[in-house]
Amino acid sequence: MNRILPIVKKDVTQIFRNRFIAVITFLAIFIYAVIFHIMPSKVEEAYSMGFYFEKGREVAEEQISKEEGLEVVWADDEEGLKKLVENEDVQAGLSFTLPEGKPKIVLYTSSQTPEEIREAGDVIAREAAYNLSGYPLNVEFNEVVIGPDLIGMQVPLRNKMRVLFVVVILAVEFYALGNLISEEIRKKTADAILVTPVSISEFMTAKVATGIFLTFFEGILAAFLLNIISVDTVIPFAVLLLLGAFLVVAVSFVLGTISRSFLGLTAYGTLFMVVFMIPAFILIFPGGYSFWINAVPSYYLIIPLDGIVNYGYVLSDYLPEMAYLGSFDLVMLLLGLYVLRRRLT
């Protein structure tokens, strides 16, 4: 231990002597914190829709008022309804007229309206058309939610983004620790240290300790700035962050060993960083999910983080994910130590 701590102190100092690493690390933490705090903190849960009924407005208004989560705006004429949609005062508009005595229903949407909003408006319009034409669907409809019911638990985009921010900050350590190892091998600093009474096991233990310390410290700092830390989340977050730190350290060992220069490290590190972050983007754009994402180890870190931080789940809900991530960390760390030992000897 007396030999390991001085090496750790030297490593931390050496890492932050690299101005590029120091700047992108702390600049990323504080910029992400600023972005988080200026983003909207609430979710608009109501679907706003405009209506114009040439006849029968009273009956329709009574029926539509029973719909949950629907914000209704009534227009005095069809042109007024079009204006509501054009000015984005509503997300869609439904017109019911009787030209030549025949019912005509038109759904108006803006060219800027997202596809999912158009589809929701189309469903509402079709249901209204059946009811207004006197042919309501003669079926019994029951809603059964499989798994946790998240209705009313919508999470603001900024809360989803903070999981991505934490993952990016972890991924930055690919460069920090990887560059440290690469430089010490290239400049023969590692050989000079190993000439002293320091054993190769102590040398590698110091590198692991340095990576865990930096990753954990930066992750906790980011969590405080992003309002992640609370009485309920501090222990689960710390456990997941520790598993993530081991993953980062393991990958950094491999990157630092195979990289012959900082340029090479940047190329390899960027590739690993992009793959590492892909599951976090799926939280923000769930439509992009694909089965192969389950093979990315960071998926088993990001999903528990999202559930615990944003939905109040407990750590025991994610024991399979933690077991998989811990196993992968162990295998990857052993691989990293093996290739580093081979390179040093």
pLDDT, position 63: 66
Q: Which of 19-28, 113-122, 218-227, 255-264 has the highest mean pLDDT?
A: 218-227
More confident residue, 331 or 283: 331
Task: Give CA separation, 271 vs 251, 262, 275, in Å.
Answer: 12, 14, 6
DSSP code per residue over 74-142: E-SSHHHHHHHHHTTSSSEEEEEE-GGGS-EEEEE--TTS-HHHHHHHHHHHHHHHHHHTT--------
- Contacts with 25 (C-beta within 8 Å, 6 or more apart), sequence order: 169, 172, 176, 218
Q: Which of 76-85, 212-221, 257-266 has the highest mean pLDDT?
A: 212-221
pLDDT, position 300: 92
| Percentage of the chain modeled with pLDDT above 70 | 81
User: CA nearest 201: which of 9, 12, 345?
Assistant: 345
Can you give the pTM of this predicted structure? 0.72
pLDDT, position 153: 57
pLDDT, position 150: 53
Axis crossing angle, helix 157-186 with helix 319-344, rounded to the nearest 10? 20
Whether the CB-CB separation of 275 and 300 falls below 8 Å is answered with no
**What average pLDDT does range 28-50 have in this prediction?**
77
- Contacts with 155 (C-beta within 8 Å, 6 or more apart), sequence order: 43, 310, 311
User: CA nearest 268: which of 277, 278, 257, 259?
Assistant: 259
Six-digit token string for 96: 């019911």
pLDDT in tens, 148-207: 555 555 677 788 888 888 888 888 888 888 888 888 888 888 888 888 888 888 888 899
Farthest-apart Cα atoms in the chain, separation? 99
pLDDT, position 125: 67
pLDDT, position 82: 86
Placement of tokens 């069809």 in the chain: 78
pLDDT, position 134: 59
pLDDT, position 140: 55
Q: How far is Cα of residue 112 from the mean position of the Cα atoms in its chain?
A: 25
CA atoms within 13 A on the CB side of 303: 18
**What average pLDDT does range 110-129 have in this prediction?**
68
- With bands split at pLDDT 50, 70 and 90, how would you rate the model's confidence at 278? confident
pLDDT, position 242: 93
| Res 146 pLDDT > 80 | no
Average pLDDT over the chain reads 80
**What average pLDDT does range 296-315 have in this prediction?**
89
**What average pLDDT does range 259-276 have in this prediction?**
81
User: CA nearest 124: which of 98, 83, 99, 92?
Assistant: 92
pLDDT, position 237: 93
pLDDT, position 173: 82
May I ask the CATH class of domain 47-132?
alpha beta
**What average pLDDT does range 96-114 have in this prediction?**
75
- Contacts with 274 (C-beta within 8 Å, 6 or more apart), sequence order: none
pLDDT in tens, 52-95: 877 767 766 766 666 666 777 888 888 888 888 888 788 788 78
Domain boundaries, the chain: 4-40+155-344, 47-132
Lowest mean pLDDT among 23-37, 92-106, 273-287: 92-106
Six-digit token string for 63: 């029926």
pLDDT, position 339: 86
8-state DSSP, 134: T
